Chains A and B, each alone.
Chain A
Amino acid sequence: MRRAAWVLAVLLSHWRRHPMQLATLLVGLIAATALWSGVQALNQQARISYDRAAALFGGARTAMLIDPAHAMFSQAAFVELRRVGWPVSPVLEDRVQVNGRPVRLLGIEPVTMPAETASSSAIGRNDLHAFVAPPGRTLVAPETLRDLGLAAGATPRVNDGAELPPLQSQPQLAPGALIVDIGVAQRVLGEPGQISRLLVGKTTRSARDLPKQAAGTTLQWVAPDSETDLARLTDSFHLNLTAFGLLSFLVGLFIVNSAIGLAFERRLPTLRTLRACGVSARLLNVVVVIELVTLALFGGLVGLIGGYFIAAALLPDVAASLRGLYGAQLPGALSLQPQWWLAGIAMSVLGALAAAAASLVRMARLPLLAAAQPYAWQQAQRRWLWRQGVLALAMLIAAIGILMLGDSLLAGFAVLAALLLAAALALPVLLDGVLRLGGKGARSALPAWFWADSRQQLPGLSLALMALLLALAVNVGVGTMVQSFSATFVRWLDGRLAADIYVSAANETQAAEIRRWLAARVDVAAVLPGARTEVQIKGAPVEIMGLADHATYRESWPLLRSVANGWDRLHAGDAAFISEQLSRRLHLDVGDRLRIAAPGGDWPLVVAGIYADYGNPKGQLAVNIDALLRHFPDTPQTRFGLRVAPEHIVGMIAAMRAAFHLDARQLADQATVKAESKRIFNRTFAVTAALNTFTLGVAGIALLTSLLTLSGSRLPQLAPLWAIGITRERLAVIELLKTMAVALVTALLALPLGLLVAWCLIAVVNVKAFGWRLPFQVFPMQLLELLAVAMVAALLATLLPILKLARMQPATLIKIFVNER
């Protein structure tokens, strides 16, 4: 044990004498762990929120009994089932407006609420009497209380009608919901004796034991699901984040690999001395692994703290993205589980061991008597070159194979991973070829040395250049995808938001008043009524949207393809336009048929067209509004668009606001809605942009640290040139040119690779993840900008070692000749 401690002390003394190498190693470990754990913290936070929401609503995680048509039913069913021993609990739920904001109102029965619904303890058990007895309590999450602009104790009105019991903040609750006693909910919603569903507590009985009817209602058993609806919907978003986190992690490990490889090379003489002084190979290997694990633990811990701050900084944007894309509510504060810390530390240790694997194997096989080879590591790398080329080819073939055979989101990411890996592995081979060609063209001594020395330097730099290539390619790929999406999204918004003013009345009474008021206005060119309802198709929620038959829609609706007389077919009421994602999910094309379960019986529809519906996680159908109201007569008609001449828009909004006290959410002009949509769009990609920047930054650090660690071992190559009369300044310029040349070739290779990545994202990943495909566009200015950024990053990374060389004391260079190294 004491012997191991002494060997460890000798090994650690290396880092004390070479703090820059230690810093490089730690920077790699910290960056890798921080970016990975930051992304995982965001994912974990989101998943906890989905679980909270699912548990609260008695949703996917709890077995339920519902009406097959999703209608309300009599609470007598609850009484009857309890009498025969079923542990059921009633819930009444509806969407309501409070203070102009839409929220979910949930009425629960706290005494019979199943204990396993996570929120039940917070809801009733602590203060059951206050919750049930008049005036009762309205429990609400603190975030929702803030959103509503209300204070605890307030008694707001629901839909401007009945008053709710005093609000009470409950941090355990999921946001976006108000919880009251079921009796209160029935009163304020005007649904006496009605319930939405029955939650089924833990029971040994199954759906087969359920009576066919209860109190005259046929009930449908909904089995609990291990995954929530939100979790399912947001899977692709989190997979995207994870993929980015993994990429950053890998780029960080490139730094670790580079630092460890160079440190091993520098320590070879020490390792041999230790063996000669009687340290067995096994003890030496064990101590080196202990040293590495100790460093990884330290780096991992600091990385986790960094990851926490990264996650905290990105959380608002991620929350905005999830709200905008999926309607998922995330709390504003980060709360982390112990397993996050453990997983982060484990990733750091395993990553460090993986990054050091090649060096550890080489050390284990270290021949005790081989003469000291100062550049053994680089030479070994050179021997690997051709094997890398073969491996790159194999990865490319794998990418093509997965692309042709795979049919899932995971396969899409596998294609991307294989493609990037193939490119990274091929890079040193390509650069070696370019430098070899350059050498053949050299006519005089110095250029010949320039090319030859660049090739000699390549193995030491190749990992950092591979990191730069990956970071740049991903930047180009994601940047092109986002720009393509942005351009398409703006055109799409112009089509979808064709009306000049959008109105959403608080209820049907107010909607009728507004319609009457509008009919008397001469400055309103057209009123375009809208209505929406929701149905289930093949187990997934689908939105049906009613469109008025008007030139506004005929001219601008973002149809991707349709039958010749699509709008006429829609007007007839037996046809529908379907969103692109629904067409992909149900494998429906123009001319196909589908049936909608409507209250009055099935509604057969022909697909007359397919339209773009970006950003909507649900499938959507657009039908004629009159036909919709005929088949779904209970659909609320509270929304409409107005066509108004541009000069009357401001006046019209002011007049409506004065007449009906509508707030900004209920009444908005087209420009405001578009601006809000674009703001949400930009926030959605803010996280991607931030992670993109982080990855590029880490790649820049990889290049800097590689150059710094290499600069020491470059002296034996440079000192002879200095000795024969090339000044330090000229040597520095040559070194700068060499690094910039390989960085430029790398960046130029990254551009086509990045476009290939963009194509993969647009044509494979996006289609699988979201169900829509964007037109692929190339943005030359963006590519030029990124090329410039890459060259500036390379210049900055090169500058410090170059300045060091230019200012190097002659005595340092002389040492090369007088001392055994």
Chain B
Amino acid sequence: MLKVVNLSKSYRSTQETVHVLRGVGLAVARGESVALTGESGSGKSTLLHLIAGLDEADGGDVWVENARVTGLPDAGRAALRRTRLGLIFQQFNLVPSLSVADNLAFQAHLAGQYDPAWLTELIARLGLDALLKRYPEQLSGGQQQRVAIGRALAVKPALLLADEPTGNLDEATADEVVHLIRDLVARSGCGLLMVTHSARLAAMLDRRLHLSGGLLA
């Protein structure tokens, strides 16, 4: 479902060229949850961004459900993100001017994949029933991240990409959020690739990959 082949990426500054990824390859199957760990600056987020089509690779290929992400133009990558991917970030990235209910539904509406029954179930599972009319600024960090998870899963994505989704949360809330993600991924049948610093959280997922020196260990 997700296949990454020999992916490379480097950044050039005035003084030097930093090779962040040096031919990374990995695969995630439908229903599988994979943790991606590594030190700060090891390229975890870059790898996730390349898979999501938010950035362009220097070389290699990314395939999501038979679509070659690395060969798509901007509009094609946007369409893929809209319909087949769910993204969760450390910074919750909610639209501050939309209520919780609107934030939850708007990507599904954009994708033309709005399913009220599925969204109702998500709201119940995420415990957001009482918060639907609130705005992001009126929520705690954990609550905001639940809304971000709901928004990402509302489109029934093929692949959920989570970039340190618990980075801003306390330990208990972080555990709770990862449990929720794992359960919902299992319920929806999509794949999950989650970047995390925490070995404890990584251990909660099916498989763990470690990125170091631009290569997967």
Most buried by A among B75, B112, B168: B75
In the complex, the answer to whether A14 meets B97 with C-beta atoms within 8 Å is yes
Instruction: Report the Cα distance A183→B52, complex, angstroms.
Output: 92
B79 within 8 A of A: yes
Please give me the residue from chain B that is nearest to A280 by CB atom: B78
Please give me the residue from chain A that is nearest to B49 by CB atom: A369
Please give me the residue from chain A that is nearest to B95 by CB atom: A270
In the complex, the answer to whether A820 meets B92 with C-beta atoms within 8 Å is yes
In the complex, the answer to whether A6 meets B97 with C-beta atoms within 8 Å is no
Please give me the residue from chain B that is nearest to A820 by CB atom: B91
Instruction: Report the Cα distance A281→B76, complex, angstroms.
Output: 11
In the complex, the answer to whether B81 meets A277 with C-beta atoms within 8 Å is yes
Q: Among the listed B54, B91, B112, which residue makes an inter-chain contact with A369, where contact means beta carbons less than 8 Å apart?
A: B54
In the complex, the answer to whether A17 meets B110 with C-beta atoms within 8 Å is no
- B interface, over-half SS: helix
Most buried by B among A270, A276, A279, A369: A276
In the complex, the answer to whether A278 meets B110 with C-beta atoms within 8 Å is yes
In the complex, the answer to whether A6 meets B106 with C-beta atoms within 8 Å is yes
Which residues of chain A come closer than 8 Å to B102, judged between CB atoms? 13
Please give me the residue from chain A that is nearest to B81 by CB atom: A278
Which residues of chain B come closer than 8 Å to A521, judged between CB atoms? none
Q: Among the listed B54, B92, B97, B110, which residue makes an inter-chain contact with A16, where contact means beta carbons less than 8 Å apart?
A: B97
- A interface, over-half SS: helix
Which residues of chain A come closer than 8 Å to B110, judged between CB atoms? 3, 6-7, 277-279
Instruction: Report the Cα distance A392→B177, complex, angstroms.
Output: 56
In the complex, the answer to whether B96 meets A269 with C-beta atoms within 8 Å is yes
Which residues of chain B come closer than 8 Å to A3, judged between CB atoms? 110, 112
A10-B98, A13-B98, A368-B55 are contacts. A278–B82 as well, Cβ < 8 Å?
yes
Within 8 A of A (CB), among B44-100: 49, 52, 54-55, 74-75, 78-83, 85, 87, 89, 91-98
Q: How far is the CB of B159 from chain A (nearest CB, A)?
A: 13
In the complex, the answer to whether B79 meets A278 with C-beta atoms within 8 Å is yes
In the complex, the answer to whether B81 meets A270 with C-beta atoms within 8 Å is no
Give the contact-size bracket for chain B.
Answer: 35 or more
Instruction: Report the Cα distance A18→B94, complex, angstroms.
Output: 16
Chain B 129-171 per-residue mask, 1 if CB under 8 angstroms from chain A, else 0: 0000001010001000000000100000000000000001000
Instruction: Report the Cα distance A258→B87, complex, angstroms.
Output: 33
In the complex, the answer to whether B91 meets A280 with C-beta atoms within 8 Å is no
B111 within 8 A of A: yes
Please give me the residue from chain A that is nearest to B168 by CB atom: A820
A150 within 8 A of B: no
Instruction: Report the Cα distance A280→B53, complex, angstroms.
Output: 11
Q: How far is the CB of A280 from chain B (nearest CB, A)?
A: 4
Please give me the residue from chain B that is nearest to A276 by CB atom: B87
Q: Among the listed B49, B82, B92, B93, which residue makes an inter-chain contact with A279, where contact means beta carbons less than 8 Å apart?
A: B82
Q: How far is the CB of B81 from chain A (nearest CB, A)?
A: 4
In the complex, the answer to whether B106 meets A277 with C-beta atoms within 8 Å is yes
In the complex, the answer to whether B55 meets A369 with C-beta atoms within 8 Å is yes
B19 within 8 A of A: no
Which residues of chain B come closer than 8 Å to A368, judged between CB atoms? 54-55
Most buried by A among B78, B81, B82, B107: B78
Chain A 368-380 per-residue mask, 1 if CB under 8 angstroms from chain B, else 0: 1100100000000
Q: How far is the CB of A712 from chain B (nearest CB, A)?
A: 12
A819 within 8 A of B: yes
In the complex, the answer to whether B80 meets A278 with C-beta atoms within 8 Å is yes
Q: How far is the CB of B116 from chain A (nearest CB, A)?
A: 16
Q: Among the listed B78, B93, B106, which residue makes an inter-chain contact with A10, where contact means beta carbons less than 8 Å apart?
A: B106
Instruction: Report the Cα distance A280→B82, complex, angstroms.
Output: 9
Please give me the residue from chain B that is nearest to A277 by CB atom: B107
Which residues of chain B come closer than 8 Å to A279, judged between CB atoms? 78, 82, 110
Within 8 A of B (CB), among A1-59: 2-3, 6-7, 10, 13-14, 16-18
Q: How far is the CB of B148 from chain A (nearest CB, A)?
A: 10
In the complex, the answer to whether B96 meets A2 with C-beta atoms within 8 Å is no
Which residues of chain B come closer than 8 Å to A275, judged between CB atoms? 54, 78
Q: Among the listed A13, A276, A281, A820, which residue makes an inter-chain contact with B81, where contact means beta carbons less than 8 Å apart?
A: A276
In the complex, the answer to whether B82 meets A277 with C-beta atoms within 8 Å is yes
In the complex, the answer to whether A280 meets B74 with C-beta atoms within 8 Å is yes
The A-B contact count (CB < 8 A) is 82
Instruction: Report the Cα distance A14→B102, complex, angstroms.
Output: 13
Q: Among the listed A2, A269, A278, A369, which residue makes an inter-chain contact with B93, where contact means beta carbons less than 8 Å apart?
A: A269
Which residues of chain B come closer than 8 Å to A205, judged between CB atoms? none
Q: How far is the CB of A365 from chain B (nearest CB, A)?
A: 13
B210 within 8 A of A: no
Please give me the residue from chain B that is nearest to A282 by CB atom: B75
Q: How far is the CB of A775 from chain B (nearest CB, A)?
A: 59
Total chain A interface residues with beta-carbon distance under 8 A: 30
In the complex, the answer to whether B135 meets A17 with C-beta atoms within 8 Å is yes
A272 within 8 A of B: yes
A3-B110, A13-B102, A368-B55 are contacts. A276–B137 as well, Cβ < 8 Å?
no
In the complex, the answer to whether A17 meets B80 with C-beta atoms within 8 Å is no
Instruction: Report the Cα distance A3→B111, complex, angstroms.
Output: 8
Which residues of chain B come closer than 8 Å to A372, judged between CB atoms? 91
Instruction: Report the Cα distance A207→B98, complex, angstroms.
Output: 75
Chain B 15-55 per-residue mask, 1 if CB under 8 angstroms from chain A, else 0: 00000000000000000000000000000000001001011
Q: Among the listed A2, A18, A274, A280, which residue makes an inter-chain contact with B79, where contact means beta carbons less than 8 Å apart?
A: A280
Instruction: Report the Cα distance A279→B85, complex, angstroms.
Output: 13
Which residues of chain B come closer than 8 Å to A277, judged between CB atoms? 81-82, 87, 106-107, 110, 151
Which residues of chain B come closer than 8 Å to A218, judged between CB atoms? none
Which residues of chain A come closer than 8 Å to B106, judged between CB atoms? 6, 10, 277
Most buried by A among B79, B82, B97: B97
B109 within 8 A of A: yes
Please give me the residue from chain B that is nearest to A372 by CB atom: B91
Which residues of chain A come closer than 8 Å to B83, judged between CB atoms? 278
Instruction: Report the Cα distance A283→B137, complex, angstroms.
Output: 27
Instruction: Report the Cα distance A593→B91, complex, angstroms.
Output: 86
Which residues of chain A come closer than 8 Å to B87, judged between CB atoms? 276-277
Q: Among the listed B89, B97, B107, which residue makes an inter-chain contact with A270, where contact means beta carbons less than 8 Å apart?
A: B97
Q: How far is the CB of B82 from chain A (nearest CB, A)?
A: 2
Instruction: Report the Cα distance A144→B151, complex, angstroms.
Output: 73
In the complex, the answer to whether A280 meets B95 with C-beta atoms within 8 Å is no
Q: How far is the CB of B121 from chain A (nearest CB, A)?
A: 21
A273 within 8 A of B: yes
A277-B81, A277-B82, A278-B81 are contacts. A819–B137 as well, Cβ < 8 Å?
yes
In the complex, the answer to whether B97 meets A17 with C-beta atoms within 8 Å is yes
Most buried by A among B49, B81, B82, B110: B110
Instruction: Report the Cα distance A454→B168, complex, angstroms.
Output: 33
Which residues of chain A come closer than 8 Å to B97, judged between CB atoms? 10, 13-14, 16-18, 270
Instruction: Report the Cα distance A372→B93, complex, angstroms.
Output: 10
A270-B96, A270-B97 are contacts. A278–B111 as well, Cβ < 8 Å?
yes
Instruction: Report the Cα distance A457→B85, complex, angstroms.
Output: 41
A17-B97, A273-B94 are contacts. A281–B74 as well, Cβ < 8 Å?
yes
Q: How far is the CB of A158 from chain B (nearest CB, A)?
A: 74
Instruction: Report the Cα distance A10→B95, complex, angstroms.
Output: 8
Most buried by A among B55, B85, B96, B102: B96
Which residues of chain A come closer than 8 Å to B94, judged between CB atoms? 273
Instruction: Report the Cα distance A784→B106, complex, angstroms.
Output: 57
Please give me the residue from chain A that is nearest to B93 by CB atom: A273
Give 4 nearest A-B pairs by CB, closest first: A278-B82, A280-B78, A278-B81, A13-B97
Enumerate 13 A-B pairs (CB-CB under 8 Å) in ascending A order: A3-B112, A6-B109, A7-B110, A10-B97, A17-B135, A270-B95, A273-B94, A278-B82, A279-B78, A280-B78, A280-B79, A283-B78, A820-B141
Chain A interfacial positions (CB closer than 8 Å to B): 2-3, 6-7, 10, 13-14, 16-18, 269-270, 272-283, 368-369, 372, 815, 819-820
Chain B interfacial positions (CB closer than 8 Å to A): 49, 52, 54-55, 74-75, 78-83, 85, 87, 89, 91-98, 102, 106-107, 109-112, 135, 137, 141, 151, 168
12 further A-B pairs in the complex, CB-CB below 8 A; given A280-B79, A820-B92: A2-B112, A3-B110, A18-B97, A276-B52, A277-B81, A277-B82, A278-B78, A278-B81, A278-B107, A369-B54, A369-B55, A820-B91
